[in-house]
Structure 1
Amino acid sequence: MRPRRSPRTSRMSRRRREPSSDQPPEETSDPESAVRAILLRRLSSAPRTRNELREDLRRRGADPDASERVLDRFEEVGLVDDVAFTRLWVESRHRSKALARPALRRELQQRGVDANIIERALEDINDEGEFHRALSFAEGKARLRAGEELPAAVNRLARQLARKGYPSSVCFSVARNVLATKFEQRQDDIVDEMFTGDVVDDLAAHQESM
């Protein structure tokens, strides 16, 4: 008489036998069905660009021709929409992460979005709106660390803004304005001390890398 297996052992055994969704699709007489199943699983968790989905299918070993046909159909019915994705991405990341246009452009390029689609979406952000978003971000970050002089705090805050993609002129202007206002010090009193060569060089190098 064979010993009975515990429910836990049975569940573990079933999990080992179940194929992972990250594995390449099984060979099938209908490759489009396999592609469709992968895409629906991926899109059920979050919207994705066409290029992201194409690369995911390629990594899983899906048939390239079937992949393009199914992606075309998904675009026709609106399940894949790079224009809508890009506009939502720009709006969300600009609002929640305070990212400036250069940083947003870089993120979308990394996701394979067409350059024309990116630029049209970025038109929703103008210079004034970007400046006010930088100001709002800086106001939330403005503080002095223990033993830190105000010019050093301005330089540190300017670097934080630069990492968000703002140009160096905006970084220094916003950082100086916010910190001088918060700590009730005239901006002229800190201007001469803050423009150190290494800080300016660091910001310039960061802007070039974007």
Structure 2
Amino acid sequence: MRDSKRSAKAEPPKDPAERAREICLRLLDVRPRTYIELAEALTKKDIPDDIIAEVLDRYREVGMVDDAAFARAWVSSRHRSKKLSRRALSSELRRKGVDTELVDEALEQVDGDSEREAARALVEKRLRSMGSVPPDAVFRRLVSMLARKGYPAGVAVGVVKDILAEQAETAELAEQIDVDAMSGEAEAETST
């Protein structure tokens, strides 16, 4: 047992490029990563900047790091599973270091119709669990939930109004909702 500890200590320190490759492979084994995510992880491990650039550029050349493919997969997955809006997806990708042009290209997968369908699915699911909540509170909570998912006020208010109009107990409330006025108020609140 002591011999294994000594032999581990006796090994010469690893080449920084080798360490960088091992770190990247370990991270990429869990899930795809962006160039920036990997660069930040390597920086935290005290890998020199020139080695980071060399290793990541090589990984980019061979297709192991592909920000465009990452962005497309991220948008597809997160929009389908979490029903996130284009705005929320854009924000997430930018935080991960994806270039604006690549973000815009990836977001082309989500058109207005699929965004409304996703918002509708969220509202319908949430509405089932709201039981005895007063109708005006139902409306506020549903619009707020969509806003937290990044949906524009006009989409959020419109989708909620449409669904409430379909429900017998909330149809009267839905008739009283002015989508244009409410979406303008909500946008004014978010810009201040």
Give TM class, smaller chain.
0.7 to 0.9
Which ranges of structure 1 fall in alignment gaps of 5 or more residues?
1-9, 20-25
Conserved? CA contact 2:67–2:98, under 8 Å: yes
Deviations, residues 73-120 of structure 1 (Å, cap 9, x unaligned): 101111111111100000000000000100000000000100000000
Q: Hey, what does 1:100 align to over in structure 2?
A: 85
CA distance in 1, matches of 2:91, 2:155: 19
Written as runs of structure 1 = structure 2, the 5 A alignment for 1:21-170 is 27-28=13-14, 30-143=15-128, 145=130, 147-170=132-155
> Relative to structure 1, is the Cα distance of residues 177 and 144 closer, same or farther in structure 2, using a 3 angstrom cutoff?
farther
Conserved? CA contact 1:143–1:153, under 8 Å: no
Identity level (%): 36
Q: Hey, what does 1:5 align to over in structure 2?
A: none
SS at structure 1 position matched to 2:70: helix
CA distance in 1, matches of 2:183, 2:111: 27
CA distance in 2, matches of 1:186, 1:34: 61
CA distance in 1, matches of 2:19, 2:39: 13
Q: Partner letter of residue 122 of structure 1? A: L
Alignment of 1:192 onto 2:179: no
Deviation at residue 127 of structure 1 after TM alignment: 0.9
Deviations, residues 34-85 of structure 1 (Å, cap 9, x unaligned): 1111111111111111000000001110011011001011011111111111
Conserved? CA contact 2:17–2:55, under 8 Å: yes
CA distance in 1, matches of 2:175, 2:144: 16
The structure that is helix-richer by fraction is 2
Greater C-alpha Rg: 1
SS at structure 1 position matched to 2:168: coil
Task: Give the TM-score, by structure 1 length.
Answer: 0.77
SS at structure 1 position matched to 2:109: coil
Deviation at residue 145 of structure 1 after TM alignment: 4.0
Task: Give the TM-score, by structure 2 length.
Answer: 0.83
> Relative to structure 1, is the Cα distance of residues 96 and 178 closer, same or farther in structure 2, using a 3 angstrom cutoff?
same
- CA-based RMSD of the aligned residues comes to 3.0
CA distance in 2, matches of 1:193, 1:174: 12
Q: How many residues align?
A: 185
SS at structure 2 position matched to 1:125: coil
